[in-house]
């Protein structure tokens, strides 16, 4: 069921008229029936071509030789004489013409570890092999060995001395706040790794050009990241490097930065060989080597008054970046900026640091640092409510941001604050108050030998829309709308479709401006030789930022055509194209009015706007085994403006289920810096039987800076699901689980008073290897 | 990367015996274990595979004298749908329903589960607790091995290289009660953290139990019987003090390990708690 809140409505205690009838005309919303997913039929009928479906005659198969140690010097690569090496091509770091770095924030991660170089994590790429058939490739891998000298390894971010980044935000005076506080509550929360688990593994195919250039086709979120990486390391011009997105089976952030690595590998092999090379990961390799969500340790100290007022928040965030920097500083900053939760507090200090360990690098994942810190923040709030004897709903009514409030970076929330609305909507739809009374009574009356218990839990959250700080200004994305000389309207952006709906909503937005049907608007392929760099498909920015650009471009196109034809665009654009040829309008990002951020001091408008969310989860806990069944979840999410309600609900449902996996079962154990849960038999995510009933409530509190008011929705539900589930487990059992995932092992230990199981995300050392 | 060993598909059991007598073959039944193992990633694949799916001699569920007999090729779906299993060994249909999900249940067989000899094989404790006999055959003839002797060590069975598992006989004992419980990570497609089968003889209600069998999987290198706990339960009535003693004896007698799926502490604790619950439910208190 979809319910939406009228624009600009005021918060009410119990909103009952949340529905905008579908026929109501709002910018970008289809006026007739909702368009089907643009690429849906091809996917359903199996016609869609994912990377591994693409056929390039004569292509060879590539493979990566990886380290089996967490920290070592690479002494040499030995090719056994027993094997005929003329049947294969081998690439080492010495074959890289340009810089041996995967271009991103910091130049620390090599494409391949050079001889004499430092291996910094398990499964790190050391060299590459390709062969015409898989049998020979397998044989070649068996005859290739690496010599290493082991170095001491660091696995615990709290013990690491190597820092990727740190930052601090705050306002007011903590000493004053804590002096005033009548109650101080402390808590430490830990979260482990999480795997994105896109359905399609990482995959890239590289085709060499005669002039030394290269075209890569593959699964990715950000074609221009790959473009930049190829240019730099292969020393290519803009035109020599071409990146084409194949149909992509999910990303969740996992295909933000890692595809640059695999594209570089495929391209290096293809250039040396002079033939196309396919680099298609199997699941085991994908799980072992690619990026995960950052583990984190978050410590809270909160000062409150007996009447519930929040007076001081001191928060310390430590993230484990893994062996290389990747996007870690940006993940940390988003984590820190969201660490206080969506609550008004006069005295705040939040400190964060991201540390290096000898584990595979962590990277982008839906929520980008916020799910970690918001789990901690919300669990802390729920514990405070318990300590004060207040309802967690009441406490949030008291604390939640309203328009005019100021965040710890000094950002004044001038508009588009839907914290009260999402809170009330979720509480009402879930009947939170009544259920809480029921579960409370049941808990009080429960016999000590009861077999099961039910509970309900609530959490809320916020998510900064688009890039952090001056990110969008630095990206300066360009998007275009074109009327071709054949009389076809098409949208040109680098925004990728990975199942979330880009290719469906962009034609909707443009058609709306031009007075056409969505089906009449084409989407140009995500091919860097065709589309401009409109920035990466990340940070829930596509609908808000790039959607805004194409609306503006469409408006200009319409005006220019109508100025010439003097007739409405729909009636005249084809004649215009016939008589005057095509016309393309490029629109470059302009800073949103009155949005300013100082990167040096970390003050100002950290985000142009925030999305708001609240989730209520109900669980059953088996008191014998600690097993949890999440029964149902209500998730109310404000995305500013809902462009396509069905796709938006899909984002809420998928994000909620991913959050439930994070909350309950998704865990990676490590030995010697190596992931043990590196197959689908051991890395378990919820199945359809584990999925709860999910009710998505879509709330609309538009952002005036975007022409259509949209703020992005993809990440919001990921921030709130886990703390809601943990609160429900507490409501059922009376125990607080501070570490994610809240596995039966952790729950049973808490119920029986047994020692807390090991912290998530920290590797143990292999017994036969000495400690460092 | 796919590997393609040579596969032979005999049509009769004697044809299969003859092939096995000539050369070593790895049998494949439903293939739900074997196909995962022969990716080429996890050690060398077998040279020759014997596809036994067409051997109808290995199919069927029937009552034979005082035993319920399941052909080795009986799938989990067939067990779940069988009126004979529902009547004489409902714990087996319960167990079958917890294995994998629909696709695995359609293909996976009880013979494959037994012959694969995983310590986490879900039907294995049930076979042990029910005193099942595994009937093996080769050109040399047929022989029976009790479930208690079929898994001598980690991932080994009593099968000789030229033998096939033909069928499994569950003796039908009039007053035997059997309970099954699996603890996994999620509600489908989950390998057990602990799996338990408990069988006893006795009248309904709270009369003392006889011939108690308590077998567990995923807590040792092979499926095991918990002898000390059985001794506590044998001759005792299913009351609270029995349950308490049995649970603490079980926790003391198990020696599980930490691994990727769970921890030793959890396995020990949960086995004891589940046993306590089963006794309590049987005792009706
Ligand atoms: C996704 C998935 C989920 C699963 N879930 C579970 C689960 O929940 N619980 C569980 O216990 N198992 C589970 N399994 C494992 C597997 O499905 C079972 O063990 C199944 O019973 C194996 O039967 P099969 O016929 O497919 O065996 P196969 O794979 O055909 O054979 C398995 C082994 O037994 C040998 N073999 C088979 N039949 C004979 C015979 N008649 N005589 C001699 N040797 C023989 C084969 O040579 C092979 O070594 C799962 C597997 C998968 C892939």
Chain B residue with minimal CA distance to A751? B269
**Chain A residues close to B2, C-beta within 8 Å:** 134
Query: Domain ends where: B171, B203, B230?
Result: B171
Mean pLDDT of A559-579: 97
Q: Which of B99, B145, B165 to mutate to test the pocket of ligand 1 (most atoms within 8 A of CB)?
A: B99
Residues A302, A221, single domain; the answer is no
ipTM, 2 decimals?
0.96
Residues B71, B162, single domain; the answer is yes
- Rounded to whole angstroms, the Cα distance separating B147 from B156 reads 13
- Predicted local distance difference test score (pLDDT) of residue A24: 52
Residues B188, B154, single domain; the answer is no
Give how many domains chain A has, as a whole number.
2
Residues A429, A463, single domain; the answer is yes
**CA proximity to A137, closest of A104, A89, A103:** A89
Token pair listed for B264: 């030793």
Q: Report the 10 Å Cβ neighbour count for A527.
A: 16
Task: Give B111-134 pLDDT, tens digit per residue.
Answer: 999 999 999 999 999 999 999 999
Distances (CA, A) of B153 to A486, B149, B223: 74, 10, 9
Residue A337 within any structural domain of the chain: yes
Residues B114, B18, single domain; the answer is no
**Chain B residues close to A662, C-beta within 8 Å:** none
Mean pLDDT of chain A: 94
Question: Which atom of ligand 1 sits closest to the CA of residue B121?
Answer: 11
Residues A262, A371, single domain; the answer is no
Closest in B2, B187, B280 to A690, CB measured: B187
Token pair listed for B92: 């087996």
Pair A598, A604: CB distance under 8 Å = yes
Residues A319, A224, single domain; the answer is no
- Predicted local distance difference test score (pLDDT) of residue A25: 52
Task: Give A257-267 pLDDT, tens digit per residue.
Answer: 999 999 999 99
Q: Do B188 and A690 touch (CB under 8 A)?
A: yes
Q: Which residues neighbour B69 within 8 Å (Cβ) at sequence distance 6 or greater? A: B60, B61, B62, B63, B167, B168, B169, B170
The yes-or-no verdict on residue A40 having pLDDT over 90 is yes
Give how many domains chain B has, as a whole number.
3
Kindly give the residue spans of alpha helices, DSSP state H, lying in B120-239: 124-129, 147-150, 227-233
Residues A209, A67, single domain; the answer is yes
**Chain A residues close to B98, C-beta within 8 Å:** none
Confidence of residue A618 (pLDDT cuts 50, 70, 90): very high
Residue A311 within any structural domain of the chain: yes
3-state helix, strand, coil in chain A (%, to 5): 30, 25, 45
Strand B6-8 and strand B48-51: the pairing is parallel
Residues B213, B165, single domain; the answer is no
Chosen for mutation from A66, A142, A744, A764 (greatest number of chain B CBs closer than 10 Å) is A744
Distances (CA, A) of A158 to A295, A318, A425, A759, A766: 11, 8, 40, 12, 20
Residues B161, B65, single domain; the answer is yes
Cβ B165 under 6 angstroms from ligand 1: yes
Residue A36 within any structural domain of the chain: no
Ligand 1 centroid vs B121 CA: distance in angstroms?
8
Task: Give A209-251 pLDDT, tens digit per residue.
Answer: 999 999 999 999 999 999 999 999 999 999 999 999 999 999 9
Residue A62 within any structural domain of the chain: yes
- Give the CATH number of the domain where residue B43 resides: 3.30.43
Cβ–Cβ contact A741 with B under 8 A? no
Residue B164 within any structural domain of the chain: yes
Task: Give A371-404 pLDDT, tens digit per residue.
Answer: 999 999 999 999 999 999 999 999 999 999 999 9
Residue A346 within any structural domain of the chain: yes
Q: Do B273 and A624 touch (CB under 8 A)?
A: yes
Query: Domain ends where: A265, A289, A313?
Result: A289
Pair A628, A750: CB distance under 8 Å = no
Q: Collapsing DSSP states into helix, strand and coil, what is residue B9?
A: coil
- Rounded to whole angstroms, the Cα distance separating B185 from B261 reads 8
Cβ B28 under 6 angstroms from ligand 1: yes
Residues A62, A112, single domain; the answer is yes
Residues B199, B221, single domain; the answer is yes
**CA proximity to A458, closest of A400, A520, A510:** A400
Residues B217, B234, single domain; the answer is yes
- Predicted local distance difference test score (pLDDT) of residue A17: 32
Residue A645 within any structural domain of the chain: yes
Task: Give B146-172 pLDDT, tens digit per residue.
Answer: 999 999 999 999 999 999 999 999 999
Task: Give A114-135 pLDDT, tens digit per residue.
Answer: 999 999 999 999 999 999 999 9
Cβ–Cβ contact A141 with B under 8 A? no
> In a 10 Å sphere around its CB, with 0-12 CB exposed, 13-18 middle and 19+ buried, how is residue B31 labelled?
middle
Q: Do A138 and B261 touch (CB under 8 A)?
A: no
Taking CB atoms within 8 Å and a gap of at least 24, the contacts of A651-655 are: A651/A500, A651/A501, A651/A713, A651/A714, A651/A717, A652/A694, A652/A696, A652/A698, A652/A713, A652/A716, A652/A717, A653/A694, A653/A696, A654/A717, A655/A366, A655/A714, A655/A715, A655/A716, A655/A717, A655/A718, A655/A721
Question: Which atom of ligand 1 sits closest to the CA of residue B124?
Answer: 11
Q: Where are the beta strands (DSSP E) in A408-541?
A: 452-464, 478-483, 489-492, 521-523
Cβ B195 under 6 angstroms from ligand 1: no
Cβ–Cβ contact A448 with B under 8 A? no
Query: What distance in Å separates residue A491's CA from the closest CA in chain B?
Result: 39
Query: Domain ends where: B171, B204, B238?
Result: B171
Q: Do A687 and B188 touch (CB under 8 A)?
A: yes
Q: Collapsing DSSP states into helix, strand and coil, what is residue A289?
A: helix
Q: Which residues pair with A208 in a beta bridge?
A: A214
Pair A655, A716: CB distance under 8 Å = yes
- Rounded to whole angstroms, the Cα distance separating A736 from A382 reads 10
Q: Collapsing DSSP states into helix, strand and coil, what is residue B48?
A: strand
Cβ B52 under 6 angstroms from ligand 1: yes
Considering just the CA atoms, what is the radius of gyration of chain A in Å? 26
The yes-or-no verdict on residue A276 having pLDDT over 60 is yes
**Residue length of chain B:** 285
Query: Domain ends where: A259, A289, A319?
Result: A289
- Which helix (H) or strand (E) segment holds residue A601: the answer is none
Residues A619, A730, single domain; the answer is yes
Confidence of residue A103 (pLDDT cuts 50, 70, 90): confident
**CA proximity to A623, closest of B121, B273, B167:** B273
Task: Print the domain residue range for A667.
Answer: 296-468+600-752
- Give the CATH number of the domain where residue B81 resides: 3.30.465.10
Mean pLDDT of B212-240: 98
- Give the CATH number of the domain where residue B258 resides: 3.30.390.50
- Rounded to whole angstroms, the Cα distance separating B57 from A119 reads 57
Torsion angle, alpha carbons of A664, A194, A352, A106, to 10: 180
Ligand 1 centroid vs B27 CA: distance in angstroms?
11
Token pair listed for A192: 């482990």
User: What are the DSSP calls for A390-411, one per residue?
Assistant: --HHHHHHHHB--TT-B-TT--
Closest in B188, B265, B270 to A625, CB measured: B270
Mean pLDDT of A744-766: 96
Residues B100, B76, single domain; the answer is yes
Q: Do A689 and B187 touch (CB under 8 A)?
A: yes
Residue B126 within any structural domain of the chain: yes
Strand B176-183 and strand B164-171: the pairing is unpaired
Burial pattern A448-481, b for ≥16 Cβ within 10 A else e, equals eeeeebbbbbbbbbbbbbbbbbbbbbebebbbbb
- Give the CATH number of the domain where residue A386 resides: 3.30.365.10
Confidence of residue B238 (pLDDT cuts 50, 70, 90): very high
Cβ B46 under 6 angstroms from ligand 1: no
Residues A342, A235, single domain; the answer is no
Q: Collapsing DSSP states into helix, strand and coil, what is residue A2?
A: coil
**CA proximity to A290, closest of A413, A216, A198:** A198
Nearest protein Cα to ligand 1, atom 43: B164
Residue A127 within any structural domain of the chain: yes
Q: Do A745 and B263 touch (CB under 8 A)?
A: yes
Q: Collapsing DSSP states into helix, strand and coil, what is residue A118?
A: strand
Query: Domain ends where: A247, A271, A289?
Result: A289
Mean pLDDT of chain B: 96
Token pair listed for A291: 């990026």
Pair B97, B90: CB distance under 8 Å = no
Distances (CA, A) of A356 to A158, A289, A553: 10, 17, 43
Residues A354, A463, single domain; the answer is yes
Residue A137 within any structural domain of the chain: yes
Residue B13 within any structural domain of the chain: yes
Q: Which of B5, B8, B13, B33 to mutate to test the pocket of ligand 1 (most atoms within 8 A of CB)?
A: B33
Residues B21, B94, single domain; the answer is no
Query: What distance in Å separates residue A285's CA from the closest CA in chain B?
Result: 11
Residues B215, B279, single domain; the answer is yes
Residues A334, A454, single domain; the answer is yes
Task: Print the domain residue range for B23.
Answer: 6-51
- Predicted local distance difference test score (pLDDT) of residue A13: 36
Residues A315, A434, single domain; the answer is yes
**CA proximity to A318, closest of A156, A474, A525:** A156
Cβ–Cβ contact B186 with A under 8 A? yes
3-state helix, strand, coil in chain B (%, to 5): 35, 25, 40
Cβ B105 under 6 angstroms from ligand 1: no
Interface of A with B in 263-282 (CB under 8 A): 282
Pair A616, A633: CB distance under 8 Å = yes
Residue B1 within any structural domain of the chain: no
- Predicted local distance difference test score (pLDDT) of residue B37: 87
The yes-or-no verdict on residue A771 having pLDDT over 90 is no
Residue B47 within any structural domain of the chain: yes
- Which helix (H) or strand (E) segment holds residue B70: the answer is strand B67-71
Cα B181 from chain centre: 13
Mean pLDDT of B25-39: 93
Question: Which atom of ligand 1 sits closest to the CA of residue B36?
Answer: 53
Cβ–Cβ contact A419 with B under 8 A? no
**Chain A residues close to B41, C-beta within 8 Å:** 282, 284
Chain B residue with minimal CA distance to A141? B41
Chain B residue with minimal CA distance to A628? B186
Residues A301, A245, single domain; the answer is no
Residues B21, B122, single domain; the answer is no
Size of interface A-B (CB pairs under 8 A): 70
Q: Do A757 and B265 touch (CB under 8 A)?
A: yes
Q: Do A682 and B261 touch (CB under 8 A)?
A: yes
Chosen for mutation from B269, B271, B279 (greatest number of chain A CBs closer than 10 Å) is B269
Ligand 1 centroid vs B191 CA: distance in angstroms?
12
């Amino acid at each position: 069921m979809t319910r939406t809140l009228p624009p600009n409505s005021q918060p009410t205690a119990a909103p009952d008229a949340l529905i905008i009838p579908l026929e109501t005309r709002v910018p970008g919303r289809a006026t007739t029936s909702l368009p089907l997913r643009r690429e849906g039929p091809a996917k359903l009928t199996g016609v869609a071509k994912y990377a591994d479906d693409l056929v390039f005659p004569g292509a060879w198969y590539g493979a990566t030789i990886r380290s089996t140690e967490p920290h070592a010097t690479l002494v040499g690569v030995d090719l056994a004489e027993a094997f005929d090496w003329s049947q294969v091509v081998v690439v080492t770091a010495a074959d890289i013409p340009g810089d041996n770095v995967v271009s991103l924030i910091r130049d620390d991660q090599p494409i391949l570890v050079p001889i004499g170089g430092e291996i910094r994590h398990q499964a790190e790429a050391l060299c590459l092999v390709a062969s015409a058939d898989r049998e020979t490739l397998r044989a070649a891998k068996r005859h290739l060995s690496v010599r290493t000298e082991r170095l001491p390894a660091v696995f615990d971010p709290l013990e690491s001395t190597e820092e990727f980044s740190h930052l601090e935000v705050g306002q007011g005076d903590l000493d004053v706040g804590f002096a005033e506080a009548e109650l101080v509550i402390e808590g430490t929360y830990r979260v482990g790794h999480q795997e994105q688990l896109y359905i399609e593994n990482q995959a890239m195919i590289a085709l060499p050009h005669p002039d030394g250039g290269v075209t890569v086709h593959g699964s990715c979120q950000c074609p221009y990241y790959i473009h930049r990486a190829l240019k730099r390391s292969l020393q290519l011009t803009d035109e020599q490097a071409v990146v084409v997105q194949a149909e992509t089976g999910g990303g969740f952030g996992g295909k933000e930065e890692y595809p640059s690595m695999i594209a570089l590998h495929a391209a290096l092999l293809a250039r040396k060989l002079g033939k196309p090379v396919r680099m298609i990961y199997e699941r085991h390799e994908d799980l072992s080597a690619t990026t995960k969500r950052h583990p984190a340790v978050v410590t809270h100290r909160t000062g409150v008054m007996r009447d519930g007022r929040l007076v001081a928040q001191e928060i310390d965030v430590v993230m484990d970046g893994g062996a290389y920097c990747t996007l870690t500083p940006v993940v940390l900053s988003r984590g820190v900026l969201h660490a206080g939760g969506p609550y008004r507090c006069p005295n705040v200090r939040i400190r964060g640091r991201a540390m290096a360990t000898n584990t595979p690098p962590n990277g982008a994942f839906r929520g980008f640092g916020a799910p970690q810190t918001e789990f901690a923040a919300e669990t802390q709030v729920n514990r405070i409510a318990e300590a004060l004897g207040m309802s967690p709903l009441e406490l949030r009514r008291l604390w939640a941001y309203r328009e005019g409030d100021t965040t710890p970076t000094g950002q004044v929330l001038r508009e588009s604050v839907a914290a009260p609305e999402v809170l009330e909507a979720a509480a009402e739809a879930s009947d939170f108050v009544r259920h809480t009374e029921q579960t409370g009574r049941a808990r009080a009356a429960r016999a000590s030998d009861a077999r099961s218990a039910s509970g309900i839990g609530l959490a809320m959250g916020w998510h900064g829309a688009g890039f952090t700080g001056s990110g969008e200004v630095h990206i300066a994305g360009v998007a275009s709308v074109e009327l071709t000389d054949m009389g076809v309207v098409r949208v040109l952006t680098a925004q990728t479709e990975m199942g979330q709906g880009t290719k469906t909503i962009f034609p909707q937005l443009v058609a709306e401006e031009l007075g056409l049907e969505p089906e009449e608007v084409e989407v140009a392929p995500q091919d860097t030789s065709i589309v401009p760099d409109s920035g990466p498909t990340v940070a829930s920015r596509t609908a808000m930022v790039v959607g805004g650009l194409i609306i503006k471009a469409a408006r200009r196109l319409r005006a220019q055509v109508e100025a010439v034809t003097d007739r409405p665009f729909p009636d005249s654009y084809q004649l215009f194209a016939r008589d005057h040829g095509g016309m393309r309008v490029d629109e470059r990002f302009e800073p949103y009015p009155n949005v300013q951020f100082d990167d040096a001091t970390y003050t100002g408008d950290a985000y142009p706007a925030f999305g708001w969310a609240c989730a209520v989860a109900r669980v059953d806990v088996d008191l014998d085994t600690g097993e949890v069944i999440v029964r149902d979840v209500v998730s109310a999410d404000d995305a500013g403006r809902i462009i396509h309600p069905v796709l938006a609900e899909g984002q809420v449902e998928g994000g909620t289920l991913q959050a439930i996996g994070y909350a309950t079962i998704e865990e990676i154990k490590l030995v010697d810096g190596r992931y043990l849960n590196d197959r689908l038999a051991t890395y378990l995510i919820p199945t359809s039987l584990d999925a709860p009933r999910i009710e998505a409530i879509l709330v609309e509190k538009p952002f005036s800076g975007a022409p259509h008011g949209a703020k992005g929705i993809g990440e919001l539900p990921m921030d709130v699901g886990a703390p809601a589930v943990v609160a429900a487990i507490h409501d059922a059992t009376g125990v607080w689980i501070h570490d994610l995932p809240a596995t039966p092992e952790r729950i049973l230990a808490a119920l029986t008073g047994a020692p807390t199981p090991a912290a998530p995300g920290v590797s143990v050392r292999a017994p036969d290897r000495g400690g460092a | 990367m796919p590997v393609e060993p040579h596969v032979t598909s005999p049509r009769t059991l004697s044809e299969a015996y003859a092939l096995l007598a000539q050369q070593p073959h790895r049998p494949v039944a439903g293939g739900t274990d074997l196909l995962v193992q022969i990716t080429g990633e996890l050690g060398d694949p077998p040279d020759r595979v014997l596809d036994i799916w067409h051997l109808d001699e290995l199919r069927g569920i029937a009552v034979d004298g005082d035993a319920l007999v399941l052909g080795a090729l009986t799938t989990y779906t067939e067990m779940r749908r069988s009126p004979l299993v529902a009547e004489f060994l409902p714990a087996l249909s319960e167990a079958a329903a917890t294995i994998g999900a629909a696709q695995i249940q359609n293909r996976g067989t009880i013979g494959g589960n037994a012959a694969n000899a995983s310590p986490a094989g879900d039907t294995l404790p049930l076979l042990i607790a029910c005193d099942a006999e595994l009937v093996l055959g080769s050109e040399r003839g047929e022989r029976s091995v009790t479930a208690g002797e079929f898994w001598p060590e980690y991932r080994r069975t009593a099968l000789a290289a030229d033998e096939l598992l033909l069928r499994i006989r569950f003796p039908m004992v009039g007053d035997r009660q059997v309970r099954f419980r699996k603890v996994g990570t999620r509600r489908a497609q989950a390998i057990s953290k602990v799996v338990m089968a408990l069988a006893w003889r006795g009248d309904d209600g709270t009369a003392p139990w006889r011939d108690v069998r308590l077998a567990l999987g995923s807590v040792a290198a092979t499926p095991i019987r918990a002898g000390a706990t059985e001794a506590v339960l044998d001759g005792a009535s299913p009351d609270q003090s029995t349950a308490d003693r049995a649970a603490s004896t079980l926790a003391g007698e198990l020696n599980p390990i930490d691994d990727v799926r769970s921890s030793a502490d959890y396995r020990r604790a949960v086995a004891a708690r589940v046993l306590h619950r089963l006794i309590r439910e049987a005792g009706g208190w």
